[in-house]
Amino acid sequence: MKLLPKSVEKAIEEFSKLPGIGPKSASRLVFHLIRQHQSTSQQLGEALTSLHGSLIFCANCCNIADSDPCVVCDDQGRDNHIICVVEQPLDAVALERTEYNGRYHILGGSISPIDGIGPDNLNIKPLFTRLKNSPAITEVIIATNPTMEGEATALYLSQQFDEQNIKVKVSRIAHGLPVGGDLEYADAVTLTRAIEGRQSLV
């Protein structure tokens, strides 16, 4: 016997489809909304409904935006000599918390043959078109994630720079131990990256 109304079950089912949200978390979210004023659910629904309709992709960097060019590409105060290549828009958001002040290029994912995602499924061609048309760019920072897919993407990009004879400095972000982390809790891959990315103190 089902104790929950169909509308509640449906809401729980839909919330459960979100990444990192299991059935229990979905249930808590739904019952939280039930306890709130109806306007809270309505505002959430309106925000979700308008999400896709109001978003566009920047023709320059392929980031999600509500204008073209996006606010970063339109910012004349940024360094035009550097492009940081990331997988997803949230990666650029994370880098904005640092002192980085260059441009971005959003790939829209990473190469993953097991998921059927190849180079042609990503925003790689627009990146090289952009580089060929922008002689001011002198460095490309590859900031894909330290996963198998991220590393495969970084390797593919570095090979393409050679094949397409694009003369810019290509660098890869360092990976290693987080500040405040203990060596004993770090995995072997993280420790290896930390050793490889060591810096001179003198």
Domains and CATH numbers, the chain: 6-54 (1.10.8.420), 78-171 (3.40.1360.10)
Mean pLDDT of 95-111: 94
Is 0.85 surpassed by the pTM of this model? no
Q: What's the average model confidence in pLDDT over 96-121? A: 94
pLDDT > 90 fraction of the chain, expressed in percent and rounded: 69
d(CA 141, CA 83): 6
H or E stretch at 159: helix 148-163
3-state secondary structure at position 64: strand
- Tracing tokens 């958001």 back to the chain, one arrives at 93
- What is the distance of C-alpha 148 from the center of its chain? 16
Task: Enter the DSSP assignment of 4.
Answer: S
